[in-house]
Structure 1
Amino acid sequence: MQGYHHPILLVNSLASGPNGLLNVNADSAAQALATVTSADQLILLTDVPCVLVNEEVVTALNPLSANQLIDQNLITAGMVPKLQAAFSALHHGVHKITITNRLGQGTKLEL
């Protein structure tokens, strides 16, 4: 449809608290906002190109394969809550999730 623009929502991981700034888990916040707004797509930006296992690119994941890699300690640290937020968004109706550091690339998640 010509002239129609899809809205894009960017989430900052800082919030104002009674004693100053608070660090908010941006992945959880983005997941909640994507779910409540019935977003079609959620892109979780990170400092790596996508989900990596043994320095190899993982192009697609589903909950079973992701949990197996987490259980084997092949996916660790900050990528674990990122995947949890992503799969939660998928379970709540967001149709497309990408984890990346560059738009147009990354790991695609599916149910």
Structure 2
Amino acid sequence: MQHVMILTRLTPQSTRLGRVDELIGVTSDGRSVLVRSEPAQRVNVAQLQHQRTPLILLCDQIQDTAVADFQVPPQALVSIIPLPADEVDMLLREGREQLLLDEIRAQLA
């Protein structure tokens, strides 16, 4: 996993009636992220759409996009660090966001 981000908000988007196929998120540093799906690959959206935020997301690829600062493509491998949202929120309020991200990156290296 090359990319680590803290998502503070995720909003479901539907382009097909009755099915969430995209999520618009906001990172802890204020960037927008689009999590996309496609008909044959919906696992990332399905995995993230009911998660409590803030959450720490690991992702093996991101891409540029015109509708957000960056996007997580449907075929990306994503993982959520199992840290409760309340604890992540406390770290953000204490201003320890960068320390947390640096520690995670160091463990992944």
Same fold (TM over 0.5): no
Structure number with greater Rg is 1
TM-score of the two chains, using structure 2 as the length reference? 0.25
Q: Determine which structure has the larger strand proportion and give its number.
A: 2
Structure with higher RCO (Cα < 8 A, 6+ apart): 1
